[in-house]
């Protein structure tokens, strides 16, 4: 069952479970390419404590190949069907930069969260569509596209200021398009057009992005910013992912986009207990 996003408070800490519908996502264990795989993954993550399921039909890993709109929709439709037929209710986020995908999904399944890696830059109609439908909108910082972003890591005034300035400009465009301020969520885009060191600088500088006044989504789960400095693989990066989840929570409530829901739920619950005990 797909729940209306109005059922949860996006300004409080939430766990967003990654459900990739692609055969080439960077973390192999997250790939779900059959209806039964998706159904099992969705029900598992809900039972483990996810409040949002993030469905993605277009891999955005560095160097990923382009996928046609129809192929992306076919993958997403399978995922949406699996969630809608589940007896366990959950809010859905659709990871897409295409406004046509948003329109098709809304027409068939009703309201959801739009998770756009390009903050509207890759589809000039996206902001207008999101505003018209009144949907929550996650705007991520990225330069270029998944095919070339790894070469676009030069920031004249540092990565934190670069990301902040980008969001100042993009949120102005979102508001001008008619998107309600209460529907805007910012994702600093860890791993997108950033070096490993820049990703860590950005984590340390999240407070500067918070000052813009919008909820934040942090997606660092099993990414190269964790496993490269440690000389391990993404399969071995759970501990590092949980450490950075705790770090993100230290600055305030945040939506955590993760592969490992049960473990992250423990981190969130323990952090809440720690905060209440420390007061």
Residues β-bridged to residue 211: none
Mean pLDDT of 52-71: 81
Mean pLDDT of 73-89: 92
What are the tens digits of pLDDT across the range 11-60?
Answer: 999 999 999 887 755 545 555 567 888 888 999 999 999 999 999 988 76
Question: Of the listed 257, 262, 272, 275, which one is catalytic?
Answer: 257
Which CATH number characterizes residue 128's domain? 3.20.20.20
Mean pLDDT is lowest, of 65-79, 168-182, 236-250, for: 65-79
Give catalytic status of residue 223 as yes or no: yes
Q: What are phi and psi of 108, to 5 degrees?
A: -95, -30
**What is the pLDDT, as a whole number, of residue 169?**
97
Q: What are phi and psi of 44, to 5 degrees?
A: -65, -50
Residues 6+ apart with CB under 8 A from 116: 96, 97, 126, 137, 138, 139, 140
pLDDT at position 165 over 70? yes
Q: How many domains does the chain have?
A: 1
Using alpha carbons only, what angle is made at residue 72 by residues 31 and 153, rounded to the nearest 5 degrees? Answer: 75
Give catalytic status of residue 164 as yes or no: no
Question: Of the listed 223, 250, 265, 275, which one is catalytic?
Answer: 223
Which range marks the domain in which residue 59 is found? Answer: 2-278
Question: Cα separation of 92 and 153, whole Å?
Answer: 31
């Amino acid at each position: 069952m797909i729940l209306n996003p109005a059922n949860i408070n996006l300004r409080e800490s939430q766990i967003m479970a990654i459900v990739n519908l692609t055969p080439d996502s960077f973390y192999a264990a997250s790939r779900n390419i059959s209806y039964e795989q998706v159904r099992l993954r969705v029900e598992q993550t809900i039972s483990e404590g996810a409040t949002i399921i993030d469905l993605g039909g277009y891999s955005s890993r560095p160097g990923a190949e382009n996928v046609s709109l129809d192929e992306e929709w076919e993958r997403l439709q399978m995922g949406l069907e699996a969630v809608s037929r589940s007896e366990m209710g959950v809010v859905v986020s659709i990871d897409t930069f295409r406004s046509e995908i948003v329109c098709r999904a809304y027409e068939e399944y009703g309201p959801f969260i739009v998770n756009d890696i390009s903050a509207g830059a890759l589809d000039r109609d996206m902001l207008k569509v999101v505003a018209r439908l009144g949907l929550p909108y996650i705007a991520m910082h990225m330069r270029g596209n998944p095919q070339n972003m790894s070469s676009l890591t030069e920031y004249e005034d540092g990565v934190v200021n670069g990301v902040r300035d980008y969001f100042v400009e993009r949120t102005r465009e979102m508001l001008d398009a008619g998107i309600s301020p209460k529907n805007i969520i910012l994702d600093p885009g860890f791993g997108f057009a950033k070096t490993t060191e820049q990703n860590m600088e950005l984590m340390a500088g999240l407070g500067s992005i918070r000052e813009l006044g919008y909820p934040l989504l942090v997606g660092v789960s099993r990414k190269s910013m964790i496993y490269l400095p440690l000389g391990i693989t993404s399969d071995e990066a759970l501990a590092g992912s949980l450490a950075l989840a705790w770090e993100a929570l230290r600055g305030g409530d945040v939506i955590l986009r993760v592969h490992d829901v049960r473990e992250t739920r423990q981190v969130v619950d323990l952090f809440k207990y720690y905060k209440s005990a420390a007061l």
